[in-house]
Structure 1
Amino acid sequence: MTAIEVTGLSKRFGPVEAASDIRFTVEPGEIFGLMGHNGAGKTTLLRMLLGLTRPTAGSARVLGHDVTRDALAVRRAAGFLPASYALPPDMTPRQLLEYVAAMFSLPRDVSRARVEALLRKFDLAAAADRKLRGFSTGMTQKVGLAQALVNDPQVLFLDEPTSGLDPLGRHELLELLRELARERGVTILFSSHILSDVETLCRRVAVLHRGRLIACDALDALRRAHGAATMDELYLALVRREAA
């Protein structure tokens, strides 16, 4: 069974077509990239796959669950880090993770063990009881990713997770994602306009432009097909082809 199957997914907001006939599949344990500029439709697509936005047309399944009819089952099996994750400033990382665990109705002993493990995993133990107000961007992203893993998800949806991070923070986060896929078999759908991050993490990608899917293939195959030596060259070649 494929982890994610997207079939003709479309979304209109009035006259604006935010996503149009999107089609692709993601295999279990794969890190799959969604490339595109800001406003290309990546966030809309992720929200539809999580059942947070109802599609205008088409369908999608996550771990066999229909994203419209079985949205609750999808969200129980998935973790999500949105592009703009606003942490509750008066909570501590420990309190936030415990709160998320309670939302998933985890038994108290399971919750306690998982929260402590995540605090250690993301090097947050020393700051576990500090209020989140004033956390750096890097620390905020660590807490955000930790909360997305509280329910031990099989699929992880990440919307621009490295945006705003310094080079060290980006490197650390990308390494954590690789480890999740390699050691725990987590399927990751990774959205970014930072092309080098997509290249670092992903073998296959879907490229969105103005709500349309303009390419979906292995990165190596796309580069060969378009004679592109770099990610920037590839993206520009695809966008120019679409505009021609």
Structure 2
Amino acid sequence: MEEDLTSVRVSGMQFAYDGQPPLFVEFNLKISPGSRCLLVGSNGSGKTTLLKILAGKHYGCGDLSYLGGSWSKTVGSAGEIPLQGDFSAEHMIFGVEGIDPVRREKLIELLDIDLQWRMHKVSDGQRRRVQICMGLLHPFQVLLLDEVTVDLDVVARLDLLDFFKEECELRGATIVYATHIFDGLETWATDLAVHPTWRDKED
């Protein structure tokens, strides 16, 4: 029997918000381990909704499975942790338990984080760096990203994309990345997911 090397599989999914036309009808998606998959589509076409479904925040009518276990043990995200209070970057990053210190230091250096930053005083870009760092502290099997680099400068963005590529190539991790910023992604991505309605809504 041939081994199924699918990392993410969605079969026959249907989803609509109350009172709205369906965003997904018989939607299928299959992504292999080690893939860096871009979600392509215009605003309002359902990319963020799909990421939320994959993260278990919405439930579509269809089959959703991950290689290696349920979504709660498999899927990670980055950039979604709210950081607005009067506390330091060090307090937040070092407050996460069960972390490989080598991985933590690598991320701090990669994202050029000053551990003395106060979260209520930093810029949006600096806050985003800390959010991304915290989201990546635990190694992931599947990583869901929604415009995660939007507040980063060009250098930080390229460094982060290199880190993601390394995670996929060395650990067989899988990334599903929704973005409108395609600079530097021409050779980075291995797959594109383009829903027919997303294509229809493009200018």
Q: Which SS does the other structure have where 1:13 is aligned?
A: coil
The residue type paired with residue 41 of structure 1 is G
Going from structure 1 to structure 2, the CA distance change for 1:98 and 1:78 (only over 3 Å counts) comes to farther
Give the deviation of 1:214 after TM superposition.
1.4
The structure with the greater share of residues assigned to strand is: 1
SS of residue in 1 equivalent to 2:166: helix
Distance 1:141 1:199, change over 3 A: farther
- The aligned runs of 1:44-193 (5 Å cut-off) are 44-55=49-60, 57-65=61-69, 73-81=70-78, 86-99=82-95, 101-102=96-97, 106=98, 110=99, 114-124=103-113, 127-193=114-180
Matches of 1:98 and 1:54 in 2, distance apart? 33
Residues of 1 paired with 2:62 and 2:18: CA distance?
17
CA 1:197–1:43: 2 relative to 1, 3 Å: farther
Task: Tell me how far 1:47 sits from its aligned partner.
Answer: 0.8
- Which of 35, 42, 48 does residue 30 from structure 1 map onto? 35
TM-score (structure 2 length as normaliser):
0.81
Residue 138 to residue 201, structure 1, CA distance change in 2 (3 Å) = farther
> Distance in 2 between the 1:4 and 1:113 partners?
28
Larger relative contact order, structure 1 or 2 (CA cutoff 8 Å, min sep 6): 2
Q: 1:113 and 1:160, CA in 2 relative to 1: closer, same or farther beyond 3 A?
A: same
Q: Deviations over 1:135-167 (max 9, x none)?
A: 334333322221122221111110111224343
> Residue 170 and residue 61 in structure 1: after superposition, are their counterparts in 2 closer, same or farther (change >3 A)?
same
The Cα of 1:74 is off from its aligned counterpart by 1.6
**8 Å Cα contact 1:159/1:191 also seen in 2:** yes
- Alpha-carbon RMSD: 2.8
Give the TM-score normalised by structure 1: 0.69
- Equivalent residue for 1:218? none
1:49·1:62 contact (CA, 8 Å) conserved in 2?
A: no
Query: Between the two proteins, what is the percent identity of the paired residues?
Result: 28
Higher helix share: 1
Q: Give the C-alpha shift of residue 23 in structure 1.
A: 0.9
How many Å separate the matches in 1 of 2:45 and 2:185? 15
Structure 2, gaps ≥5 residues long: none
